[in-house]
Structures are given as structure tokens and as C-alpha cells.
Amino acid sequence: MLTLHGGNLPVYAQGRYKRVQHLLQSACAVTTPSAYLFQQMRSHRQDLVLLPNSLELGKYPFKRRDHPALNLVWLRAFHNIYNPSLAVKVVALLADDFPAVKLVMIGPDKGDGSLESARDLALELGVADRVIFSGSVPKETTAHWLNGGDIFLNTTRIDNTPVSVVEAMACGLCIVSTNVGGIPYLLKDEHDALLVPADDAVAMAKAVQRFLTEDGLAGRLSMNARRKVEQCDWSTILPKWEQLFIDIIQRTTV
């Protein structure tokens, strides 16, 4: 059995069509956690199985953000494809009009210089005192770190169905994300998140401001995001995995 991951997989597969198709066709089953890959990869194999990433929702306390503060959270690995410097630029754009703005950046350093670039940019833009680089945190503390903020920034250039975004939705943070790859399959603009073009700091900063200035927007999107990820609770996803294994056993033992 194979499971498809990676927001750049459709591009990779295009250049290696026969090789990828042979690999997928040889598996007894192929799953994917995202509707994006489910749609993009079906030309290689029609009977893909969509099984979303699951969460134990009980570990993610929900708080509806009716009146969010400018406490921003970024949770991802420091790597160029996730564009961490974009979050720093957003803080700089907000700082003059919203002096209370703070950003906590959580995640491991992947060693490509992205962490150093983000730190240097914070100094250059005069917001180093507003940006906290926490490094990696234990998985069991993720919800605690997320609930320390109210607005979640997803700045990536390439994406699929990021677990960090799903976790932020579960906690009820207001989501602002770039509209790339699988993101529009996970998030619906103006319904459970605000989506902006990739690498557009001005658009992202304006989206953050909307959560502060438009009555009812933050609370509505916060609630809708939580409702959506309730479909991803482990108690819902586990039976689907069990049924898949039963089906595979029945097919292979005939």
C-alpha cells in the first residue's frame, strides 16, 4: 500500500509519468490525505482512496476567536518552500498602525538559511522585538503554543494538506494562508479562512487587519474551521482505515 504526500508531487509526477504510474498501479491500494492530490493524481490511478489526516480533537482545546488580538502564530519548518520571511514582512507592515502586534514562529531549522534570513529580516525591518523564534517544540505541546495566539499565518509557496493548519483550525485560530497547491482544497476563502496570493505581504497584512475590523468575521471563520476539522477526528478516520485493510485482505486472498 502507498500513501501520497507532498504539494509538489503532481509536478514531479508529470516529468516521470510512466515511472510514477507503474509504481502506483503496482500497489494493492493507494491513499492520499488530500482532495488536491486525489484529483491531481487520478490520471495515474483511478481508484485512489481519500483518507484525511486525522487528529485527536480532545487534545486541541477550542476557543472561538470573536475578538482576536494581534498575537500571530507561524508553525512550520524553517525552509524556503514555507517562506517564513513573509510572516516577518507582515509584522513590519502592521507594526505602525498596530503597535501591539507580536509573532511567535515555531518550528525546526532545516538548514537552508531560511531561519537566519528571517532573523536578519526582522532586525532589518525593525521588528526583532516583536518576533519570537521558539525553535522546535514537543508535539504534545502544539495546542498550547497555538492557543497562545489568535491569528495563524501559513506563508508557504508549495503545499498539500498541512497538519499545522489543521491543528490551528482545531484550536479555533483565525487562518490567513497563501492560496497555493492543496490549500484551496482544504480551506474555503471567506468561509473558514482568508486566502491570499503567494509571497504577497501586503495582501496578507490586509487580511489580518480584516479580522480586527470586520464585525463577526473572526468568530464566524473560527467556528467554521473547527466544524470542518471535526470530520478529521481519529474516531471518524480509524474505521475508514480498518475497512480499507479489510478490503485489501479480501481482494488478495481470493
> Does residue 186 sit in the same domain as residue 106?
yes
Q: Kindly give the interhelix angle for 217-229 and 201-213, rounded to the nearest 10 degrees.
A: 100
* Residue 227 confidence (pLDDT): 97
**Amino acid identity at 45:** R
Q: Which domain holds residue 225?
A: 57-230
pLDDT tens, 39-70? 889 888 999 999 988 899 999 999 999 999 99
pTM of the model: 0.90
pLDDT tens, 144-190? 999 999 999 999 999 888 999 999 999 999 999 999 989 999 999 99
Smallest CA-to-CA distance from 70 within 139, 136, 127 is with 127
User: Residue 14 — pLDDT band, cuts 50, 70, 90?
Assistant: confident
* Residue 57 confidence (pLDDT): 95
Burial class, 172, CB count within 10 angstroms (exposed 0-12 / middle 13-18 / buried 19+): buried
- Mean pLDDT, range 66-92, rounded to an integer: 98
Residue 254 has pLDDT above 70, yes or no: no
> Does residue 165 sit in the same domain as residue 40?
no
> Does residue 70 sit in the same domain as residue 35?
no
CATH number of the domain where residue 193 is located: 3.40.50.2000
239 CB neighbour count, 10 Å cutoff: 10
Instruction: Give the rounded percent of residues in the chain with a pLDDT score beyond 70.
Output: 100
Q: DSSP string spanning 38-54?
A: HHHTTTT-TT-EE----
Cell numbers placing 157: 509557496
> Does residue 10 sit in the same domain as residue 109?
no
> Does residue 157 sit in the same domain as residue 37?
no
Burial class, 225, CB count within 10 angstroms (exposed 0-12 / middle 13-18 / buried 19+): buried
- Mean pLDDT, range 77-87, rounded to an integer: 98
Residue 103 has pLDDT above 90, yes or no: yes
> Does residue 47 sit in the same domain as residue 88?
no
Higher pLDDT, 126 or 37: 126
Q: Give Cα separations from 106 to 8, 100, 113, 208 (angstroms).
A: 23, 20, 16, 19
> Does residue 97 sit in the same domain as residue 206?
yes
- Mean pLDDT, range 211-238, rounded to an integer: 96
> Does residue 159 sit in the same domain as residue 65?
yes
> Does residue 72 sit in the same domain as residue 129?
yes
> Does residue 61 sit in the same domain as residue 184?
yes
> Does residue 93 sit in the same domain as residue 213?
yes
> Does residue 219 sit in the same domain as residue 200?
yes
Domain count, the chain: 2
